[in-house]
Amino acid sequence: MSNRMWGGRFSSGPDAIMEEINASIGFDHRLYRQDIAGSIAHAQMLAETGILTQADRDAIIAGLEQVRGEIESQTFTFSRALEDIHMNVESRLKDLIGDAAGRLHTARSRNDQVATDFRLYVRDAIDTIVAQLKTLQLAFVDRAEAEAATIMPGFTHLQSAQPVTFGHHLLAYVEMLGRDVGRFEDARKRLNESPLGSAALAGTSFPIDREMTATAMGFDRPTANSLDAVSDRDFVLETLAAASICAVHLSRFAEELVIWSSAQFGFIRLSDKFSTGSSIMPQKRNPDAAELVRAKIGRILGALTSLLVVMKGLPLAYSKDMQEDKEVSFDALDSLSLSLAAMTGMLGDLTVNRDKMHAAAASGFSTATDIADWLVREANIPFRDAHHITGQVVALAEKKGCGLDGLTIEDFKTVDERIDSRIHKVLSVENSVKSRKSYGGTAPDNVLAQVARWRQILGTAE
């Protein structure tokens, strides 16, 4: 059957090893919806342009719809000897309607066919991922609103730096995910051109209407260069690049969940739904879902790297190397979709230990910068000098074994006489976060304002 589909050039069948390395049906069968949609659009266009009779068109479309039904009901038998989804569908169509099936391939090639199928598939995947991203953003926004005034330590170098609100911390990820949405939407705009009608590489001599097929499949326009159309995989690379950046963002939050849920931090508790136990240590609650999300970036970035390497040295137009684009892409997009779902679930039902967060925020001299700011604002001391004075204050507190709020005014004056009792107003973590009212700052009122802004963007404002 494989030889008959190729044509009369070959007198014998492929070696078993050749069949093994050449076949893609094991993974590209998932393109069946897109393949059949493209074939229906092509058949309708061929009939409208007079290349195909109305009777053949009707038989082809009915046959294709039957094939789609068989695949969806899992009664379709895929054949490795037929290599790919295109030949499997065409062979079954011939079984159903006879010679008319052979006319479907007029004015097209498997080259433009697979390019069209894959664009349609990636477009569908982007739409799913963007919807998931917005759902996750909303989960972060909901949590941020509930934790707008919850105080936690803000870190640099994983060292206590300044107190922040947990709501503010969560909104940082809403911003990241918003950029991810933008990258995917931009990729979608660029991929939304139809390669169908480019044929093998040079276009076709038949009087086809590429605008018609592009419109039928929801593309903005047909591609303008047939060589580029069949050899381009930028749309996949760009989507995988966006997926890799998104996965990095998920991995960073997953890392924080792992750290925060540890006994040493105890900031949060992941629910039983997203935790596992140990086969030997009965006390363990392992944040395995977060750890697996953290690991998925390896697969997703690996797919991007793999396809970049495949494409880097290929001359125009199509080469069989490009068959290696789909398996890694399917895996990467599946992995990202699963990670988004898992992260949304974890975020939705985790428990926050506000007391533990507050206690940690108050440790490590986290309001030291507030002292420096006070010296600048109230004593008119240059910031660099204020920074030095504050360092001396911290050293004194360390020596006395107390926090900054444990120092008396007399202690402060041993460091600098210009400090007065008003300094105590800036030493609490509550006043520290409330004072950070600059746009984009951590103050609770700012958090609530950003929550309202994001609800408006996400279309959930009341």
d(CA 369, CA 347): 31
- Which value, in Å, is the radius of gyration of the alpha carbons in the chain? 31
β-pairing verdict for 221-222 and 193-194: parallel
Name the token pair of 415: 């460091």
Query: Residue 166: which region, alpha, beta or left (left: phi > 0; alpha: psi -120 to 50)?
Result: alpha
d(CA 335, CA 301): 11
The CA-CA-CA angle for residues 127, 129, 134, to 5°, reads: 100
Stated as kind and residue range, the H or E segment containing 164 is strand 159-165
d(CA 292, CA 122): 24
d(CA 308, CA 239): 12
Neighbour tally for 288: CB within 10 Å: 14
DSSP string spanning 73-113? TT-----GGG-SHHHHHHHHHHHHHTTHHHHTTTT--HHHH
Q: Which one is catalytic: 11, 12, 73, 157? A: 157
User: What residues form DSSP beta bridges with 151?
Assistant: 165
157 has catalytic annotation = yes
d(CA 371, CA 422): 11
The 3-state secondary structure of 319-361 reads: CHHHHHHHHHHHHHHHHHHHHHHHHHHHHHHCEECHHHHHHHH
387 has catalytic annotation = no
User: What residues form DSSP beta bridges with 163?
Assistant: 153
Distance of CA 444 to the CA centre of its chain: 29
Neighbour tally for 21: CB within 10 Å: 12
Closest CA to 246 of 134, 154, 347, 169: 134
Reduced to 3 states (helix: H, G, I; strand: E, B; else coil), residue 293 is helix
Active site residues: 157, 278
